[in-house]
Amino acid sequence: MAIIRYKNVGITAMSACVPKKIVYNKDLGYLIPQEEIEKIIQNIGVVERRVVDDDVCASDLCYKAAVKLIEDNSIDPNSIDVLLFMSQTADYRIPATAPILQHRLRLSNDTLCMDLSLGCSGYIFALSTAYAYANMGLRVLLLDGETFSKIVNRRDKVDWPLYGDGATATLVEKGDFEESIFILKSDGSGKDAVIIRDGMRNMITPDSCVEKVEEDGNIRTGLEVYMDGMDVFNFAMKRVPMSVKEIVEISGTTMDDIDWLVFHQANKFMTDFFVKKLKFDKERVPYCIQKYGNTSSTSVPLTIVSELYDKLKDGSRVVMSGFGAGLSWGTARVVFHGCKISPIIEY
């Protein structure tokens, strides 16, 4: 089990950027029978989502979030030692996006820049990486952005009502912080549960771009994401509550010591189930899925920025849990101190 502990490292600032364009699930009558739409909205919890224009990428949203964080905290760009870009929807297959953002943000050429790619657990894994660099005395800017609207077919009845776009920026550095704990796990036997099939192992051909009706009745191409909802559901039900209990036990505390429990915003039904299974106070479980949808790896920090910006206090104990493609799941216990959260901006 990968259990990682850090002392005197923490999050000092956060920001977020979402697209201006709002898509409402009530308008999906072209895809889903009108009498079923309200039931679907209630089950997944997604009323509306943000979707980028065709010429906007995840890095553009990350850039705006980073500028907001830098300006609001009067940060000298030359003081950033490490820039991490977490995304499954990078600008290009080659080159990496982090150096592109380094140049756009006018950070020093001495900045260590690196892309990270994982599923909806990505922020927890990337945050642990940011903590590792910060533990060495480096100042780390973690940018996490996703534009799943670009890789989900708009006639996919499972995925299109679910996913939205967004990005966040997180500043991690040394300071007077209590111990943070990360538990990071993987199960590659479930790789087919969430997958884009064509690209490398299955080389792209003209057929990759052809829309097909698949066994589940949904329409997609080989270049668009497929998700087996039942496989993901069963995996999450088994792994996620157990991971939260593990981190509480490892930290030597109890569930009552958690101020806020922040889950990846997969769907409301799933999160409600976690809360019930853990017998946790639902008033201390924030949701943003109703207005932003499932934003994949960025959903955990987006939930913090959008829902806890005026609630986090010095000493707030937050447990974050992300899970998804890989299969992978990660849980972190972080105690906040002096974190400045900027208002969400639109682009």
- CA torsion, ordered 80, 331, 43, 161, to nearest 10 deg: 40
Q: Answer yes or no: are the C-beta atoms of 66 and 169 closer than 8 Å.
A: yes
- Catalytic residue flag (residue 113): no
What pLDDT does residue 2 have?
Answer: 81
Structure tokens at 184: 């990071």
Low-confidence spans in the chain with pLDDT less than 70: 1
What pLDDT does residue 1 have?
Answer: 62
Structure tokens at 300: 């955990």
- Catalytic residue flag (residue 264): yes
Mind spelling out the 3-state secondary structure of the chain?
A: CEEEEECCEEEEEEEEEECCCEEEHHHHHHCCCHHHHHHHHHHHCCCEEECCCCCCCHHHHHHHHHHHHHHHCCCCHHHCCEEEEECCCCCCCCCCCHHHHHHHCCCCCCCEEEEECCCCCHHHHHHHHHHHHHHCCCCEEEEEEEEHHHCCCCCCCCCCCCECEEEEEEEEEECCCCCEEEEEEECHHHHHHEECCECCCECCCHHHHCCEECCCCCEECCCCCEECHHHHHHHHHHHHHHHHHHHHHHCCCCHHHCCEEEECCCCHHHHHHHHHHHCCCHHHCCCCHHHHCECHHHHHHHHHHHHCCCCCCCCCEEEEEEEECCCEEEEEEEECCCCEECCCEEC
Rounded distance, CA 197 to CA 213, Å? 15
Q: Answer yes or no: are the C-beta atoms of 181 and 333 closer than 8 Å.
A: yes
What pLDDT does residue 218 have?
Answer: 83
What pLDDT does residue 318 have?
Answer: 97
Q: Answer yes or no: are the C-beta atoms of 273 and 279 closer than 8 Å.
A: no
Rounded distance, CA 282 to CA 70, Å? 34
Rounded distance, CA 306 to CA 67, Å? 18
- Catalytic residue flag (residue 43): no
Query: Which position among 17, 57, 113, 120 bears the catalytic label?
Result: 120
| CATH code, residues 1-347 | 3.40.47.10
How many CA atoms lie within 13 Å of 189's alpha carbon, on the beta-carbon side? 2
Phi and psi torsions of 86, nearest 5°: -105, 120
Question: Which of 167, 172, 171, 152 shows the shortest CA–CA distance to 59?
Answer: 167
Rounded distance, CA 112 to CA 139, Å? 10
In sign, the C-alpha dihedral spanning 193, 199, 201, 205 is positive
Rounded distance, CA 226 to CA 112, Å? 34
Rounded distance, CA 133 to CA 63, Å? 21
Query: Which position among 25, 57, 218, 264 bears the catalytic label?
Result: 264
Query: Which position among 25, 135, 267, 294 bears the catalytic label?
Result: 294
